[in-house]
Amino acid sequence: MVLNYRQKMQTKKNLRFYISTWLRVVRVRFLLASVIAVSVGLAINWHLFNSIEPVSAFLTYAGVIALHASVDLLNDYWDFKRGIDTLTKRTKMSGGTGVLPEGLLKPSSVYRAGIIFLIIGGAIGTYFIFTHGIIIAAILAFAILSIYFYSTKIVNFGLGEIFVSIKGTMIVLGTFFIQTNQLSIEAALGGITVGVLSSFVLFIASFPDFNADKSKGRKTLVIAIGKKTSTKIYWVFPIVSLGTIILGVLTGLFPIISLIALIPIPLVIQAGINLAKNYEDQEKLFPSMSKTLMYSRLTGTLFVIGIILGF
């Protein structure tokens, strides 16, 4: 009886560890960016038309999250295969998940999982092609091709941040179109806002991986223009994202209460000042990365809340 009990407890412990390992490699905490993007599209639809089709909304969340998980899994796989993750010093925001270098999962398993999530997201997108037509087909084709080639082609040409910005914009436009069968300038501006916020996180996270990425042929924006110049480019991301919100309010496209998205500005100011001082010191970089991530998520969330309350 005692042995049987111990075996059951060990089995449960192993199962918990297995699940936590997969959640780690999927990078669950970063999936929030896609959740916010879909939420912006739905919030704009609610603001304009006071309606949300729940089944389509649920499928949109599921499809977008599956595609996001796919790109992260495939990125972990290719970074390991290229030897990047064995050179980086892992933090909560950079250096990969560490699952493959630590031997916790087989590379082939992570690759297969990435393809499975890509198929799931593609299948949901295909359903929307049949129900909503060619615009969804164009968005889905862009998503699938860019996700699959992100870690092997796109980042090699220094286009990672651009890809993420476009991806965020496409998610908002696609979500809005699925709900309304039309596009709008509100959805476009909202998409630019969340897309730039997402690429902002990718940009800051590439600082500590500079040497490892460069040695293996990856060309991030920070590598392309240098660390020192990048500390100045850092300010472009919040200026563009907040500028689109302010533009939307000034033109009457967004409700004035959506300006609550400006509340987290002190976080990005603190992060930018720290980055300018410590861009060469990996240990002192973490506060900048952490506050940039917090700023991005808070701004996106408050933007959603502001649009909904503005109804």
Euclidean distance between CA atoms 261 and 304, whole angstroms: 9
Q: Closest by alpha carbon to 39, among 14, 65, 67?
A: 65
Check if the beta carbon of residue 72 is closer than 8 Å to that of residue 99. no
pLDDT at 88: 66
Q: Where are the domains of the chain?
A: 31-309
pTM more than 0.85: yes
* CA angle (8, 11, 15) in 5-degree steps: 140
pLDDT at 48: 93
Euclidean distance between CA atoms 214 and 84, whole angstroms: 9
pLDDT at 92: 67
Which residues of the chain carry a pLDDT beneath 70? 1-13, 85-96, 311
Count CB neighbours of 127 within 10 A: 14
pLDDT at 100: 84
